[in-house]
Structure 1
């Protein structure tokens, strides 16, 4: 009995199904066509001589070609231009825009950098609350789109006299409050 190569290990164990044991053009029970020898398989995609299946797609193409061009639906291509959304949000006092929007990270030093960023923003929070009031809307129209390659930028709070006065008032109050 000749075994197919994929069935050799299973045949040793006695687990090879009977339908896979025949090879070399022999008729196998349960299959409609006999198995071909492995040497008859090639990489050519040319159709073999003989009976071919009916070309249904070719018939449909002939019918479409026969129809008039005026009866076809119009194929107007639409253009797509991105427009920035007009979404506004409240000021983000502790946002690290370079990291959160654009992915600029310091690798293993990022936790330390984020801690310094948070503590620094906490120290100037009175300035930021006066310079950027919580009732103010911030629009994303001036920022780059997320995911686009952008140069590294340092985002700073806006310069406002009201912010400076608030920060000076809080600092003076803490000096007099704490002994």
Structure 2
């Protein structure tokens, strides 16, 4: 009786296929697979070396350390997605959520025109002309929104425009956890 040899070539393709399928499945289990993690989560929020924007109240360390949960929103007038998220920020501000605005690498007149046209949801705002504050916060681009607790610690970094899904699934739960 002839002995049969095991043929690895028949088993190898299904094993490779199943392994790759498992890796893809794991990669897509996160909310947003493109989202880069933030090193600021759980740490005290960095300072904000900002300049005044018109006669609006200036965002500073005192605003970050004020009691209660607050949002820090990096935005610019030249940013299309910032226009998309603006009504949601207005809605949060109307609910009494404190939002600190950081105008990122923008022309002051353009930034003030943006707020005049769309409304100002910010309790305090400042201009990050050089982008240094953005670097210290680990900013990848605008818009980005951070949830900061009453102790001045970053609880959540949300990259991209705030929308209904982001509010319900990420930002509101982080705000509740930070209280």
Establish whether TM, by shorter chain, passes 0.5: no
* TM-score when normalising by structure 2: 0.20
Higher strand share: 2
* TM-score when normalising by structure 1: 0.20
